[in-house]
Amino acid sequence: MNLLVCISKTPDTTARIAFKDDFTKFDEGGVQFIMNPFDEFYSLVRAIELKEKFGGTVTVLNVGEPANDIVIRKALAIGADKAVRINTSPTSAFAVAKQIAEYAKDKSFDIIFFGKETIDYNGGEVSGMVAAMLDLPFVNLASHLEVDGTTAKLNRDIEGGVEKVEVEMPFIVSTAKGMAEQRIPNMRGIMMAKRKPLEVVEPVDKEDRVEILKYELPKAKSGVKLVDPDNIDELVRLLHEEAKVI
Amino acid sequence: MKILVYIDNRKNKIKKTDQELVYYAHLIAQKHGGSVDAFVLGSGEGAEVLGKYGADNVYAVAHDETFDANGISSAVKNFAEDKGADLVIVPFNSSGKPLVGMLSYMLDASSVTGVLNVPEVEESKLVFKKGVFSGKAFAYIKTLKDKVVVSLMTNSFSPEEVGSEVNVEAVNIPVDNKVKVVGIDKVEGKVPLPEAERIVSGGRGMKGPENWGVLLDLAKALDAETACSRPVADVGWRPHSEHVGQTGIVVRPNLYVALGISGAIQHLAGVSSSKVIVVINKDPEAPFFKAADYGVVGDLFEVAPKLTEAINKFKGK
Ligand SMILES: Cc1cc2nc3c(=O)[nH]c(=O)nc-3n(C[C@H](O)[C@H](O)[C@H](O)COP(=O)(O)OP(=O)(O)OC[C@H]3O[C@@H](n4cnc5c(N)ncnc54)[C@H](O)[C@@H]3O)c2cc1C
Residues with Cβ within 8 Å of B30's Cβ and at least 6 positions away in sequence, in order, are none
Inform me whether the C-beta atom of residue B227 falls under 8 Å from chain A C-beta atoms: no
Determine which residue's CA is closest to atom 37 belonging to ligand 1: B205
Find the range with the poorest average confidence among A11-15, A95-99, B52-56. A11-15
Nearest one of B13, B43, B84, B36 to B169, comparing CA atoms: B43
Choose the mutation target among B104, B195, B250 for the interface with A, i.e. most A CBs under 10 Å.
B104
User: What is the CATH architecture of B193-314?
Assistant: 3-Layer(aba) Sandwich (3.40)
How many angstroms does the Cα of residue B266 sit away from the middle of ligand 1?
Answer: 9
How high is the pLDDT of residue B274?
94
Q: Is the pLDDT of residue B232 over 90?
A: yes
How high is the pLDDT of residue B315?
93
Cα angle A211-B146-B37, degrees, rounded to a multiple of 5 = 120
Three-class DSSP category at A216 = strand
Tell me whether strands A138-148 and A171-175 are parallel, antiparallel or unpaired.
parallel
**What would the pLDDT profile of A27-63 be if each residue is shown by its tens digit?**
999 999 999 999 999 999 999 999 999 999 999 999 9
* CATH fold group of domain A2-218: Rossmann fold (3.40.50)
CA–CA dist A115, B195 (Å, integer):
23
* Alpha helix ranges (H) inside chain A: 37, 45-54, 69-78, 93-104, 126-134, 187-193, 232-237
Which residue among A8, A10, A13 has the greatest number of ligand 1 atoms within 8 angstroms of its CB, and so is best to mutate? A13
Rounded CA Rg of chain B: 21
DSSP string for A223-243: -PEE--TT-HHHHHHIIIIIS
Q: How far is CA A53 from the centre of its chain?
A: 24
Q: Is the pLDDT of residue A178 over 70?
A: yes
**B 193-212 → A contacts, CB under 8 A:** 194-195, 198
CA–CA dist A156, A164 (Å, integer):
6
Q: Is the pLDDT of residue B188 over 80?
A: no
Q: Would the CB of B261 count as within 6 Å of ligand 1? A: yes
Query: Structural domain boundaries of chain A?
Result: 2-218
Quote the DSSP letter at residue A40: I
Q: Would the CB of B229 count as within 6 Å of ligand 1? A: yes
- Of the candidate CATH numbers 3.40.440.10, 3.30.1330.40, 3.40.50.620, 3.50.50.60, the domain formed by B2-171 belongs to 3.40.50.620
CB contact under 8 A, A209 and B109: yes
Give chain B's mean pLDDT.
Answer: 94
Q: Would the CB of B230 count as within 6 Å of ligand 1? A: yes
Cα angle B56-B62-B64, degrees, rounded to a multiple of 5 = 130
Q: Is the pLDDT of residue B165 over 90?
A: yes
Compute the residue count for chain B.
Answer: 317
Residues with Cβ within 8 Å of A16's Cβ and at least 6 positions away in sequence, in order, are none
Q: Would the CB of B283 count as within 6 Å of ligand 1? A: yes
**What would the pLDDT profile of A102-141 be if each residue is shown by its tens digit?**
999 999 999 999 999 999 999 999 999 999 999 999 999 9
Position A222 confidence tier, pLDDT thresholds 50, 70, 90: confident
In sequence order, the β-bridge partners of residue B143 are: A210
Q: Which residues of chain B are within 8 Å of residue A12 when distances are taken between CB atoms?
A: none
Three-class DSSP category at B143 = strand
Tell me whether strands B255-259 and B276-281 are parallel, antiparallel or unpaired.
parallel
Q: Would the CB of B3 count as within 6 Å of ligand 1? A: no
Query: Structural domain boundaries of chain B?
Result: 2-171, 193-314
Q: Would the CB of B249 count as within 6 Å of ligand 1? A: no
How high is the pLDDT of residue B189?
67
How high is the pLDDT of residue B65?
61
CB contact under 8 A, B182 and A165: yes
Q: Which residues of chain B are within 8 Å of residue A245 when distances are taken between CB atoms?
A: 198, 254-255, 275-276
CA–CA dist A64, B163 (Å, integer):
49
The residue type found at A138 is F
**B 86-145 → A contacts, CB under 8 A:** 93-95, 97-106, 109-114, 122, 127, 129-145
CB contact under 8 A, A124 and B302: no
Segment B102-108 shows an average pLDDT of 98
Matching CATH topology for B2-171 and B193-314?
A: yes
CB B199 within 8 A of CB B226: yes
**B 7-36 → A contacts, CB under 8 A:** none
Segment B228-243 shows an average pLDDT of 94
How high is the pLDDT of residue A125?
97
Residue B93: which region, alpha, beta or left (left: phi > 0; alpha: psi -120 to 50)? Answer: beta
Q: Is the pLDDT of residue B124 over 70?
A: yes
Q: State the number of CA atoms in the 13 A half-sphere of B126 facing the CB.
A: 27
* Alpha helix ranges (H) inside chain B: 16-32, 69-83, 97-106, 212-222, 230-234, 265-271, 300-314
Q: Would the CB of B247 count as within 6 Å of ligand 1? A: yes
**What would the pLDDT profile of B47-85 be if each residue is shown by its tens digit?**
999 999 999 999 998 766 667 899 999 999 999 999 999
Quote the DSSP letter at residue B243: B
Q: Is the pLDDT of residue B308 over 80?
A: yes
Give chain A's mean pLDDT.
Answer: 96
Tell me whether strands B225-228 and A198-201 are parallel, antiparallel or unpaired.
unpaired
